[in-house]
Amino acid sequence: MNESHLSYLASPAWAQTLRTDLLPWLQRTADLGDDVLEIGPGPGLTTDLLLEVAGKVTAVEVDHDLATGLRERLHGQNVTVIHGDARTVELAVGRFTAGTCFSMLHHMESPQAQDELFVRLHALLRPGAALLGVDSVDSEMIRRGHRDDTYVPVDPDTLEDRLHAAGFADITVHRPNQHQFRFTARKPTPPS
C-alpha cells in the first residue's frame, strides 16, 4: 500500500467516515456473532468497530509492519492479529461466525487470488455465517489513490457469480454511492 493511501486509511477523517457510514450498515445488516474473521485490517480502524459489535475478532493482515502495529495497539483487547495470507494461514475450518473484507480485495494481486480468498472464507465460516464486504468502484480517482500500489478492481456486476461459485448463497451486491459497493453473502446451512 502506498504511503499516501495508508495515511488516509489511518486518519481521523476515515475513522469518522467508518463510524457514521460502515458501523450502522454492519449493525443493521447481519448478526456478526461472537467470533469474527477480518481480512486485511490495514491500520485497524475497521477492527476497532468490529470490537464494538463482536465478542472476538481475528484479524489477518498480509503486511508485516501493519500486523505488528495493530497487534501492539490492540494488545489486551479481545483480538488476535495474525500476520499472513488469509488464503493459506492456519485457521480452524468452520470456526467463524462472520467474515469481513473491508476495502481490501482490490489490493490482491489478481481476480484469481480474490476468488481463492472467497473459497477459503467459505471454508472458514460456520454454516449460516455471513460474509460482509465493501470495496471501491473502479474510477480514475481511485486509480490515482493507488498509484505505485497493487490495484485490481472488483467488478460489482460479476461479484455475485464469483461468490456463488465459491459456495455462498443469499448474495446481495449494492452501490450505496458512486464510489463504493457493499456485499453480503451467507454460507448455506446443510439440510437436516
Placement of cell 473484507 in the chain:
101
Buried b (16+ CB within 10 A) or exposed e, 101-134: bbbbbbbbeeeeebbbbbebbbebbeeebbbbbb
**pLDDT for 14:** 84
The CATH number that domain 3-186 falls under is 3.40.50.150
Per-residue pLDDT of the chain (192 residues), as tens digits, is 778 777 888 888 888 989 999 999 999 999 999 999 999 999 999 999 999 999 899 999 999 999 999 999 999 999 999 999 999 999 999 999 999 999 999 999 999 999 999 999 999 999 999 999 999 998 888 888 778 888 899 999 999 999 999 999 999 999 998 899 999 999 999 887
**Inter-residue contact 117 to 109 (CB < 8 Å):** no
Burial of residue 60 (CB within 10 Å: 0-12, 13-18, 19+) is buried
Residue 91 neighbours by CB distance under 10 Å: 16
